[in-house]
Amino acid sequence: MLLELLDCGGINCATCAKSSGLLPIASDERPSEFGMINVRTGELQSSTTDNHFDSDEVDKLKLIRLRSSTDDSGLGQSLLTQYNDTNRSHEPTNREGVINTPSALEMGGSCYLLSSKASNGATHASQPDILKANIAAKEFDDPHARTDLSMTIGVPLGKSYPSLRDHSTTPSLSPQGPKSRHVLHKPPKPAFASGFESNASVVSQIRVARPPAEGRGRNQLLPRYWPRITDQELQQISGDSNSTIVPLFEKVLSASDAGRIGRLVLPKACAEAYFPPISQPEGLPLRIQDVKGKEWVFQFRFWPNNNSRMYVLEGVTPCIQSMQLQAGDTVTFSRMDPEAKLIMGFRKASTSMMQDSQLAAVSNGNHSSEALISGGFENVPMISGYSSLLHSFKGSTDPQLNALSKHWSSASGDISWQGTEKHGLPRDAFLLPGMSAPERKRARNIGSKSKRLLIDSQDALELKMTWEELQDLLRPPSVNPSIVTVEDHEFEEYDEPPVFGKSSIFILRSTGGQEQWVQCDSCGKWRRLPVDVLLPPRWTCAENAWDQSRRLCSAPDGLTPRDLENLLRLTKEFKKRKLATTVRPALEHESSGLDALANAAIVGDDGDPGTTSVAATTKHPRHRPGCSCIVCIQPPSGKGKHKPTCNCNVCMTVKRRFKTLMMRKKKRQSEREAEIAQRKQLWGSKDEIEVDSTSAHRSSHHNPSENESRIGNELESQSQTTNSANTFAETGKGQINLNCQLDLNCQPDRNEDLKLGSSQTSMMNLLRVASQPLETYLKQNGLASLVSEQQASPAGHVQLQGATTDNEGQPSEDHCADSEIQEMALEKDDTDEKDSTPDQGEGDP
């Protein structure tokens, strides 16, 4: 059905939207993208004109989330209600702020709304498009026929998305600058408004929840299970095939579904409507084909449950893994007629920056299992989270995807909903003898519609991490900010909103070389770029100015599927570990999988610790050229040695701290001596020279005799390359932990440790140590590398030899570990996947 845009002359501005009942609506997946819906009629509309909003208006934009598509009222009413509610409360849903991120959107629900309370004359649309939509107005008359609308228009996210809150002093996270500096954004100027350009992909990106195909109990299916297929998909799916794809239902994966148990709970009504009837709890093996043509067999069964049934698909883990799905992602079930073959598609939640495929169709190709799981992505364009399916299909040279379209019979929403009545089809088409499948674990909670879905602290942290990751993607406006200081916090205030850059992967080679890998938004292939390249939100091979041979999408992928798999996996592992590190801050002593990774990276493939330095990392991905933090100013690994006379920042810092330490000790020593002398005067001298350095504020478990013995073994213990480092870190006493001292990544608490440790050290020993030249001390303590051979290592990560397994949570290493992990990912193949996988490393003591 064609919906004509109402001619109100101003429907594209929210002012008019209010008066005309039109609301701009943004997609759940494409928050920046913009459309309109007529809340009175439910008609879906949009415009392709620029300057929908003027600056003042934009400033008042709020993000509003629709409750869900399951409102009891029709969508129009729902929208209207939400709109009114929103007008009463100006609290933006997105409290985080400056930019509404996919994360935030993911947390909510299915449909988002942008509205505005602008009251001035906004620039109106000139001539709106007429959209094709698969919505019949009459559906809104039917309370059971609600349509979950979301519209996407191909607008680059960062370009168009407004500041969602007032430009108050509330800081946002900043990827750059000092910690106390925050980024603010002034009200978007017309530069923003002009971002509302839309394009020809308007039509095909409308995502519509469609009433399900015929089936038993179709009317009872909750709308949230209705398959949502974008009009874009439908339009793109042209086909001369005899096959017809009939979307059946879809389900957002719960943590349980995506978890290790491998059981996907099926909505009862859907299972009974579209899957073969089963009478025994054991059920039947069900053959389901995925989007890449791979056939899976799941056990379709049920459990008796309160006089009812609970249907599940068992053994879905491999499939879910292969699709890289997790909780919050959506799986779709369709039927290919006339074969009556069950098809399982998926739609990723939008936060998956790494790869966000959105495929709902299937090919008839036959991929091997291995190709699917490990190498399957070689041939499947990985559609960036912000690139459209349209683009992906258009740009794809993949015969698989082309094949996909053949099976879709509908264009412009004319899908055959009536389709073939399933029950008239041979159900055996799905059936197969059962088979088992291995599992891997993965589970993550998602946003909350219920208590169970509330993110716990872990997940909140993960969300936080996601936010932090997002910061990496923020591209500051080109114009220099004005700096405003508010309560000792510096804020960078920009006239323009930031934009999202495209995510990429940074890799550190054992040779010291750093690379950045980015995925083409068009073909999905990975290209290598210099590390300092800032990526725009969308990037294609054509923009590859650094490698002429790979400026075309037809050029082979720069990453082998294996590389990619390793990278993605290890990146995820790293993320997990980073999270764990955050949860268990600096007091973590056991050697973790991260240690194993780091150590493996340290050792390098050839096992020569020298070639790949301890801290082969210099500039971590978060930092950009020009960053002057301690990490980034370190000399690159392997570049030159630090001479004793070196005056570089790192060496100076080391020396300065050492001197400070020694001065402090000497001062204490003199104080002690004075005190001792005083005591002798008072009580006649009975005290020994050996002084308990304990003072009121010192560790209560200090034991002088123990100290002595420890000190006696100090050099020996420090030169060990075993887990004594753990003890070393744990006790923090009896030894001067230069590891802390030398870790220049500015961990104040480590300095505290240092004080504590040193204060508990025998005075004699202190005297002895303090009297030594720095170089002597370092050498005696196994730190000769710092003086002479170090040098392959940036001092920020110089570690005691015996401390290479000392993790301590090491937030300071996180940045580096990232690269190290990724380095490993690429070099793992070279080592023939020996034993350094994170999982294996995790269990290592």
Partner DNA sequence: CGCGTGCATGGCT
Partner DNA sequence: GAGCCATGCACGC
Hey, which residues does 62 pair with through a beta bridge? 115
318 or 477: whose CB is closer to DNA? 318
**The token pair that represents 602 in the structure block:** 């340290």
**The token pair that represents 142 in the structure block:** 């039917």
CB 567 within 8 A of CB 558: no
Binding mask 224-253 for DNA (x = CB under 7 A): -x-------------------------x--
Q: How far is the CB of 843 from DNA (least distance, A)?
A: 10
Q: How far is the CB of 250 from DNA (least distance, A)?
A: 12
109 or 794: whose CB is closer to DNA? 109
Q: How far is the CB of 288 from DNA (least distance, A)?
A: 17
429 or 437: whose CB is closer to DNA? 437
**The token pair that represents 810 in the structure block:** 């090491």
Interaction between residue 612 and DNA (CB under 7 A): no
Measured N-to-C along each axis, helices 811-827 and 561-583 cross at an angle, to the nearest 10 degrees, of 160
154 or 262: whose CB is closer to DNA? 262
222 or 555: whose CB is closer to DNA? 222
Q: How far is the CB of 269 from DNA (least distance, A)?
A: 6
Interface region with DNA, contact rule CB under 7 A, candidates 31-39, 107-115, 164-172, 254-262: 254-262
Hey, which residues does 344 pair with through a beta bridge? 290, 333
127 or 305: whose CB is closer to DNA? 305
Q: How far is the CB of 281 from DNA (least distance, A)?
A: 5
191 or 261: whose CB is closer to DNA? 261
Q: Is residue 491 classed exposed, middle or buried when 0-12, 13-18 and 19+ CB atoms within 10 A define those classes?
A: buried
257 or 806: whose CB is closer to DNA? 257
Interaction between residue 840 and DNA (CB under 7 A): no
H or E stretch covering 590: none
Hey, which residues does 37 pair with through a beta bridge? 23, 44
Query: Which stretches does DSSP call E strand in 360-496?
Result: 474-475, 482-486, 489-494
- The dihedral through the CA atoms of 464, 466, 467, 472 has a sign that is positive
- The dihedral through the CA atoms of 824, 826, 830, 834 has a sign that is positive
What is the C-alpha to C-alpha distance for residues 519 and 557, in angstroms, rounded to an integer?
9
**The token pair that represents 325 in the structure block:** 């799905």
Q: How far is the CB of 231 from DNA (least distance, A)?
A: 26
Q: How far is the CB of 630 from DNA (least distance, A)?
A: 39
Q: How far is the CB of 447 from DNA (least distance, A)?
A: 11
Total residues at interface with DNA (CB under 7 A): 34
What are residue 592's phi and psi, to 5 degrees? -105, 180
Per CB under 7 A, contacts with DNA among 295-334 are: 303-311, 314
Residue carrying structure tokens 């990723």: 348
Per CB under 7 A, contacts with DNA among 184-223 are: 222
Per CB under 7 A, contacts with DNA among 70-89 are: 70
| Of the candidate residues 281, 399, 426, 704, the single one contacting DNA (CB under 7 A) | 281
| Of the candidate residues 254, 330, 357, 819, the single one contacting DNA (CB under 7 A) | 254
48 or 254: whose CB is closer to DNA? 254
- The dihedral through the CA atoms of 762, 765, 770, 771 has a sign that is positive
What is the C-alpha to C-alpha distance for residues 327 and 176, in angstroms, rounded to an integer?
31
| Of the candidate residues 10, 35, 215, 267, the single one contacting DNA (CB under 7 A) | 267
Torsion angle in degrees (nearest 10) through CA of 117, 121, 127, 129:
-10
| Of the candidate residues 439, 495, 706, 708, the single one contacting DNA (CB under 7 A) | 439
306 or 549: whose CB is closer to DNA? 306
Contacts of 595 (CB under 8 A, 6+ apart): 805, 807, 841, 844
| Of the candidate residues 90, 95, 138, 260, the single one contacting DNA (CB under 7 A) | 260
* Residues recorded for the chain: 845
179 or 451: whose CB is closer to DNA? 451
What is the C-alpha to C-alpha distance for residues 738 and 635, in angstroms, rounded to an integer?
20
262 or 757: whose CB is closer to DNA? 262
Q: How far is the CB of 87 from DNA (least distance, A)?
A: 24
β-strand pairing of 482-486 with 489-494:
antiparallel
Q: How far is the CB of 270 from DNA (least distance, A)?
A: 7
Residue 480 is classified by DSSP as P
Residue 701 is classified by DSSP as T
Contacts of 801 (CB under 8 A, 6+ apart): 719, 720, 721, 782, 785
**The token pair that represents 554 in the structure block:** 């037809």
Interaction between residue 96 and DNA (CB under 7 A): no
Residue 570's nearest CA partner among 350, 260, 826 is 826
210 or 797: whose CB is closer to DNA? 210
| Of the candidate residues 28, 96, 233, 257, the single one contacting DNA (CB under 7 A) | 257
59 or 257: whose CB is closer to DNA? 257
3-state secondary structure at position 64: strand
| Of the candidate residues 41, 49, 55, 256, the single one contacting DNA (CB under 7 A) | 256
Q: How far is the CB of 723 from DNA (least distance, A)?
A: 21
Q: How far is the CB of 651 from DNA (least distance, A)?
A: 46
Q: How far is the CB of 142 from DNA (least distance, A)?
A: 17
326 or 400: whose CB is closer to DNA? 326
34 or 225: whose CB is closer to DNA? 225
Residue carrying structure tokens 């559906």: 139
Interaction between residue 263 and DNA (CB under 7 A): yes
| Of the candidate residues 24, 262, 419, 558, the single one contacting DNA (CB under 7 A) | 262
CB 11 within 8 A of CB 45: yes
Q: Which residues of 426-451 are buried (b: 16+ CB within 10 A; e: fewer)?
A: eeebbebebeebebeebbbbbbebee
Q: What share of the chain is helix, strand, coil (3-state, %, to 5)?
A: 35, 15, 50
Q: How far is the CB of 825 from DNA (least distance, A)?
A: 24
Q: Which residues of 711-736 are buried (b: 16+ CB within 10 A; e: fewer)?
A: beebeebbebeeebbbbbbebbbbbb
What is the C-alpha to C-alpha distance for residues 789 and 798, in angstroms, rounded to an integer?
11
Rounded to 5°, the CA angle 380-383-386 comes to 180
Q: How far is the CB of 373 from DNA (least distance, A)?
A: 17
| Of the candidate residues 80, 137, 255, 431, the single one contacting DNA (CB under 7 A) | 255
What is the C-alpha to C-alpha distance for residues 105 and 94, in angstroms, rounded to an integer?
8
Binding mask 44-73 for DNA (x = CB under 7 A): --------------------------x---
| Of the candidate residues 80, 136, 137, 265, the single one contacting DNA (CB under 7 A) | 265
Q: How far is the CB of 285 from DNA (least distance, A)?
A: 13
CB 702 within 8 A of CB 694: yes
306 or 548: whose CB is closer to DNA? 306
Residue carrying structure tokens 């702020």: 97
Binding mask 445-484 for DNA (x = CB under 7 A): x---xxxxx-------------------------------
260 or 768: whose CB is closer to DNA? 260
β-strand pairing of 474-475 with 482-486:
unpaired
Q: How far is the CB of 844 from DNA (least distance, A)?
A: 15
Contacts of 648 (CB under 8 A, 6+ apart): 635, 642
Q: What residue ranges bind DNA (CB under 7 A)?
A: 70, 222, 225, 251, 254-257, 260-263, 265, 267-269, 281, 303-311, 314, 439, 445, 449-453
